Amino acid sequence: MPAIKTIGILTSGGDAPGMNAAIRAVTRSAIFSGFSVKGIYRGYRGLITNEIVDFKTQNVSNIIQMGGTILKTARCKEFQTPEGRQLAYDTLRQHGIDALVVIGGDGSLTGARIFATEFNFPIIGLPGTIDNDLYGTDKTIGYDTALNTIMECVDKIRDTATSHERLFFIEVMGRDAGFLALNGAIASGAEAAIIPEISTEVDQLAELIQNGFRKSKNSSIVLVAESPVTGGAMALAERVKNEYPGYDVRVSILGHLQRGGSPTASDRILASRLGAAAIDALLDDQRNVMIGISNDNIVYVPFSKAIKNDKPINRELLDTLRRLSI
């Protein structure tokens, strides 16, 4: 394997708060270790359209506190074709880039895995997604910030729910993973969480809510993970309304505001540690791994494991939510 001199860095897929802190950490630790760094704009698309600039330490000054990603992000269909990936490879060669750090979610790391195998190209992945749905890492970059945003929003909705004695269904992101809904529900004192991992029947839910109202609660909040499995908050609310017309039901879909905002201290520290570890991994001759965190230790997770395995929900959390919502 020839020695690595120049490292390219890109962010891809859905943006997540803390991606900038990760870009900063990768850039600065790479330069610290004597590498050159190139910033690739708009994810894999920038590799095809040749949007690449030299990155110095100043390029990443004053960004640790910013949400979004200064490198921009994109979804790129062309990268899913062998022809597109060939173009991407040619661009990398043209810029003398000998290794990549890819910050993104499940899709981005799937692309990284395919590309790395196809061209025998060294890639290190960083888990950047608010969904926390990558296996092998306790947390993904952006998850904690999104969780805090959800908690703040639910606190506000609770004021209305209590004043009007309403039942609110609040839809949160998660893309087939219930981490945001479940932990968001615990953090905001919600009555229940509907997540794709666990099936919940409408009558089960109604019973839970009814019990709550009977026991002097004057509002109820249910967090619903956006997913074809749960059907989403709107559909669930319709069913509850039809079957239990006595309830004053409302829906709130938090949507994209969950992705934005300044990253929490926890996300900035996570992104900084993972970013620095990405360079350690390259120095260590690691290839095609995602850097994760497990029990506060840095771990290397092969792409195949990070992408393919479903990350399990801790059932103890469900039980805790159930017990605390009486």
Rank residues 192 and 290 by Cβ distance to ligand ADP and give the closer one: 290
Q: What is the DSSP letter of 34?
A: T
Question: Which residue numbers are catalytic?
Answer: 131
- Distance of alpha carbon 9 from alpha carbon 25, whole angstroms: 11
Cα distance between residue 69 and residue 23, in whole Å = 8
Encoded one letter per residue, x for contact with ligand ADP by CB under 6 A and - for no contact, window 139-168 reads ------------------------------
Write out the H or E segment, with its range, that includes residue 6. Answer: strand 6-11
**Cα separation, 127 vs 61, whole angstroms:** 22
Length of the chain: 326
Compute the least distance from the CB of residue 188 to ligand ADP, in Å. Answer: 25
CA atoms within 13 A on the CB side of 93: 9
Site string for ligand ADP, 89-128 (x = CB under 6 A): ---------------xxxxx-xx--x--------------
The residue within the footprint of ligand ADP, chosen from 13, 67, 125, 174 (CB under 6 A), is 13
CB 293 within 8 A of CB 273: yes
Torsion, CA 69, CA 70, CA 73, CA 79, rounded to 10: -130
DSSP state of 35: -
Among 14, 122, 127, 232, binds ligand ADP (CB under 6 A): 14
Q: Hey, which residues does 99 pair with through a beta bridge?
A: 7
Which is nearer to ligand ADP, 81 or 204 (by Cβ)? 81
- Size of residue set near ligand ADP by CB under 6 A: 17
Measure the CA–CA gap between 273 and 276, rounded to whole angstroms: 5
| Out of 12, 36, 145, 288, the residue judged to bind ligand ADP by CB under 6 A | 12
Of 38-77, which residues contact ligand ADP (CB under 6 A)? 44, 75-76
- Report the residue from 69, 91, 129, 145 that binds ligand ADP according to the rule CB under 6 A: 129
The residues of the shown chain that bind ligand ADP, judged by CB under 6 A, are 12-14, 44, 75-76, 79-80, 104-108, 110-111, 114, 129
Which residue numbers belong to the known binding site for Mg(2+)?
A: 106
Which residue numbers belong to the known binding site for substrate?
A: 129-131, 166, 173-175, 226, 250, 256-259
